[in-house]
A and B are shown apart, each in its own frame.
Chain A
Amino acid sequence: MSLPNKLGGFGRCLGDFPVKREAGNGLKLPYVSEDTKSAPIGDIAYPDGDICLDPIQIDNLRAHVLQNLSMSSKLSNSILLFSKIQIARPQTTNITTPLISKQFSQCLSAMAASSLSSTFHSTHSSTYDRMASKCTYSIAVQFLPLLPPITSSSYVLDNSCGTGLVTALVKAQFPSARIKGADLAPGMIDMYNTHIKANNGWEETVSSTVCDCRDLKGMEDGSFTHVVTNFGFAPDANDLAGPGKAAREMWRVLRAGGVAAVSIWKGKLPTMPSCFTWSRQWES
């Protein structure tokens, strides 16, 4: 027998989405255990018994979360995982309610990135993004919510997109967003395209091109409402004029009133190579 319940206690991201509690089925979500550092992915934490969802409810929950997910500061400290929600047998977990709340916010973070396929992750995790250990993600997830709202009429350029972390974050919060990913490194665009193909509905709204941020060939003046350049502003240390060229190109392709966001590492030395620097080594 199903009993109505609400997950309001799990944080504002989830809000008051109703779920049913019943025996037999469980909802498997990725989370990072706080009591054992080594447990990377586990089953959902249950507050007092099993939270159970049928497949339709899971779809609804997932859609609800993705539509309402706020990229709050909570996410900046969360783990980027790439898993899809799936039905699983319930697994009893002995944890307290406050812990559940935090774990659920981590689940939400994972769901923000859940549109990335496991195949993509397998490839992805062994190279640039794995080395980055979420450092570029940790910054993007904080500044993207500071941009003017992205709507269905927005057109976002993920400039120096790398493997597509910014695109995934934008799509998680704004599923209808139109996005173009551009990167100088063909290997990065290959991975970006894998990402597009792996996600239902992305092929209609996401495109890509191999393109140098210093010369956005094929992109018309005033095309984009948002241009995001997350640590790709200076792709080549040997080109001292590069950042200036990239900035002029960003200005050119933005519509009047459009906004560019550009991130760089602070400090004497960069902590991470750009995707371009990395891919030159990686593809050689």
Chain B
Amino acid sequence: MDAIQGTARRIRPDEEPFAWNIPDDWSRAPWLQRTLADAGFGERVEVKQIDGGMSAGSLDELVDNIMCGKDMFFGKYSEEEVSKIPAVLKEEIKKLSAYYEDGEGVGIKMESWVAFATK
């Protein structure tokens, strides 16, 4: 999202970029654990951090993939503005600390919480 929002800010600096407005809690482990505990699982909930991420054979491919969501992220942009997105997005992705290149291509590291709850 940082790269997408960074891209949006560079192309339309006066407009608030697209965002999913969900509560901050919804991406935190204690919230996940508590929600499942309260649902009936009680103390039989374990939360682990598992890291993964986006990956593609090249940065161009990764940008092409993300552009599949352009109607969501950049829905009201003109054709001219949309044409600028790939190059700007590529620069914004490369700025990310989570961005990497390796022998298999490129990627953006992402972190997740996974809860295992036993009934």
Contacts and interface: CB of A to CB of B under 8 A. Distances in A.
Interface of A: 32, 34, 37-38, 40, 76-77, 79, 126-128, 130-135, 137-139, 141-143, 146-147, 231, 233-234, 237, 240, 243-244, 247-248, 250-252, 254-271, 273, 277-278, 281-282
Interface string B2-39: 10000000000000000111111011110010011011
27 contacts: A32-B104, A77-B104, A131-B66, A131-B68, A133-B66, A134-B55, A134-B56, A135-B108, A138-B110, A142-B52, A237-B20, A247-B35, A251-B41, A251-B117, A254-B119, A258-B118, A259-B118, A262-B36, A266-B49, A267-B27, A269-B19, A269-B27, A270-B1, A271-B1, A277-B20, A278-B69, A281-B71
A262 B32 contact: yes
A133 to B, nearest CB: 4
B117 A270 contact: no
Interface string B91-119: 00000000000011101101111111111
A30 to B, nearest CB: 13
A279 to B, nearest CB: 11
A240 B21 CA distance: 11
A221 to B, nearest CB: 11
Contacts of B39: 244, 247-248, 250-251
B99 to A, nearest CB: 12
Given A131-B66, A234-B26, A267-B27, A257 B118 contact: yes
Interface of B: 1-2, 19-24, 26-29, 32, 35-36, 38-41, 48-50, 52-58, 62, 65-66, 68-69, 71-72, 75, 103-105, 107-108, 110-119
B58 A38 contact: yes
Contacts of B50: 139, 142-143, 263
A237 B21 CA distance: 7
B52 A32 contact: no
Given A251-B39, A256-B119, A262-B32, A133 B62 contact: yes
Given A133-B56, A267-B27, A269-B20, A251 B40 contact: yes
